[in-house]
Amino acid sequence: MEEAVEAATTIVHGIVNTKSDTKYYDVETPEGEKISKIYYREVEIQVLDCIKGDPDAETVIYEEEGGETEDTIYICTDIHELQKGEEILIFLNETNKLIAPLALFIVDENQQIQVGSYILPFETVAQEIEAEEKPYYTTEISLEEYCEAIRACLEEPKS
């Protein structure tokens, strides 16, 4: 978790507001040859709580991979496709993309999120590994507790 917090330029708890039409950018070789396209939609997220990033931001934009054109639907199978009105916690990099597929959390009606052990607070992982004895697992944690752990990471001095 500590590495994810450090890697992200923006961490927000928010509500999915709007999604743009599908856009794309070209992927090029170092020589400038276009070899493919990446399709995405810009997702506007209404900020409820900015944990890292611009504290005055009312919205942030996330570039969600996938989308559709007249004849093709592009799906990114590793990442949940966001829907308008979903409550989320998201870790973004400087280009408004997820820092990793595991850095998007859907907040349920009980204000809980499902978190993989790779992005849990270190103390929680240590406690749960002893009980679970699994190298990777998911667990439910309260959004409030998780956000407190993120803030604690941000307050720790960097070594």
100-122 tens-digit pLDDT: 878 899 999 999 998 876 666 65
**DSSP structure string for 91-144:** EE-TTSSBSSGGGEEE--TTSEEEEEGGGS-HHHHHHHHHHH--SS-EEEEEHH
pTM for this one? Answer: 0.84
CATH architecture of the domain formed by 2-26+37-155: Beta Barrel (2.40)
Q: What is the mean pLDDT of residues 37-54?
A: 96
Q: Can you give the pLDDT at residue 43?
A: 97
Mean pLDDT along residues 65-83: 87
- Least Cα distance to 82 among 142, 157, 17 occurs for 17
DSSP state string for 70-82: SS-EE--TTSPPP
Q: Using the structure block, give the residue that is written with the tokens 């407190």.
A: 148
Q: What whole-number distance in Å separates Cα of residue 7 and Cα of residue 50?
A: 16
Residue with tokens 């007249």: 70
The whole-angstrom distance between residue 93's C-alpha and the CA centroid of its chain comes to: 9
Note the pLDDT tens digit of each residue in 4-35: 899 999 999 999 999 999 999 999 999 999 99
Q: Where are the domains of the chain?
A: 2-26+37-155
Residue pair 69/37 in contact by the 8 Å Cβ criterion? no
